[in-house]
Chain A
Amino acid sequence: MLKIKFLVIAIAISFAGIISSCYYDYGIDPDTSNVVVTAYNNTYNFQDVSTFYLDDSVYQVGGSNIANPYETTIINTTRSSLLALGWTETADSALADVFVSTGVTTSTYTVDSYDYWWYGGGYSWYYPPYYSYSYSYTTGTVAILIADPDLATTDQLPIEWSGVLNGVTGQTNPAGLITEGINQAFSQSPYLKKN
């Protein structure tokens, strides 16, 4: 009887070990952190609009105040991408079917092993100082928005398309990554192409 009980317990522990080893945390590496996310209103017909007005300021999202040496890259790449898709630029906002605006922001995250402790089995489990870790990283975000002024309410402009680039800062050739990301945002949005 005892032998069987021991066997069942041993199998249970083995199962738990097997299962936990099966659980794969993909653990996205900051070095391959770059993502481009686009979203659009699927009830809006982008073929009905073709003229854009591009605001030549890159805004600081959320009132942040960061140095942005890539303003020209962001504006020029956005402009060339839209022109390549067959849109027409106008310098007069009153003549534009849509407004295009860009913005940037950064966020800093800190990961500290001191935050990962718990109480179990009568003990408080924690990382001793010689074994603990702490690191932080900053992500940068570039956003491009398209809105239709004809749909504006008193003080709000509904966004019909957005492209967001996000990645960890400090990577080599940031201007190249921004250019690549903006191009990717438009290339993954085929509905923006003029027939």
Chain B
Amino acid sequence: MKLKSIFIILITFLVTSSSFSQQKGKYLASIYYNMSFPVGRTSDFISDPSFAGVSFDGKQFISNNTAIGLLFGWNVFSKNETGLTQYSSGNVSGAVYGNTAYYYNILPLMASVTYFPNTNRNAKTKFYMVGYVGAYSFNQQLEIGVNTFENNNWHFGLAPEIGVYYQAGRTTNLTLSTRYNYAFSSGEALNGDESNYQAWINVNLGIGYNSW
């Protein structure tokens, strides 16, 4: 009985090991639809969520459960207001009456490390974690009537992500993930704030191609 148990464990180990070993060097390429939810200072400027965003990434496995990759994308937030809008910044407060429009156009360009705790290739569903580091290009615009105030800055950024991967076909996969984006303060804030950090949360739906 004991010998049988050891034999089963040994066989299981060998089978899974052989499948893990084939993962290294394989790659994933995906496209994501991004929904975005502003937080912190980003929410102070535009509190509305955004349903306009897209990103692309490519990943290559450097070990059986770790992949490195690159991501680039585009997230946009926008809001239009008519009527009276109150504002306050430091010692200055006031109000704007009329048409105002607010925009953020964000282009992330990030390097990533993805970790799959479960490397069993027979598992259709796998959880994963990603750490991103890179740069965000931020274009911030405020339109008051026909007057436009604009700010462009590059920010250093970090973004942790957790997600679930589903093997939908032999080489096709679907992903659902959420990512917290933090862009460190950079340049001058449009409203004169000392800090110009930005933060938002993405919820991502992805479809991808996998090379195994």
Contacts and interface: CB of A to CB of B under 8 A. Distances in A.
Given A5-B209, A8-B31, A26-B101, A189 B145 contact: no
Interface string B136-150: 000000011111000
Nearest to A42: B93
Interface stretch (B73-81, B117-125, B178-186): B73-81
A33 B91 contact: no
Interface string B53-82: 110100000000000000000101010100
A90 B143 CA distance: 39
A117 interface: no
A67 B144 CA distance: 25
A33 B80 CA distance: 13
A38 interface: yes
Given A166-B147, A167-B145, A19 B54 contact: yes
A30 B145 CA distance: 8
Contact of B146 (A16, A22, A30, A41): A30
B48 to A, nearest CB: 12
Contacts of A28: 99, 101, 143, 145-146
Contacts of B95: 37-38, 188-189
A5 B210 CA distance: 10
B92 interface: yes
B42 interface: no
A192 to B, nearest CB: 12
B25 interface: no
Contact of A137 (B33, B99, B100, B146): B146
Chain A, interface SS category: mixed
Contacts of B20: none
Task: Determine the main DSSP class of B at the interface with A.
Answer: strand
B13 interface: no
Interface string B85-123: 000100111111111110000000000000000000000
Contact of A188 (B74, B84, B169, B172): B84
Given A19-B74, A34-B145, A40 B93 contact: yes
Interface in B193-212: 207-209
B52 interface: yes
Most buried by B among A23, A32, A109: A23
Nearest to B95: A188
A94 interface: no
B145 A41 contact: no
A23 B144 CA distance: 19
Contacts of B31: 8, 11-12, 15
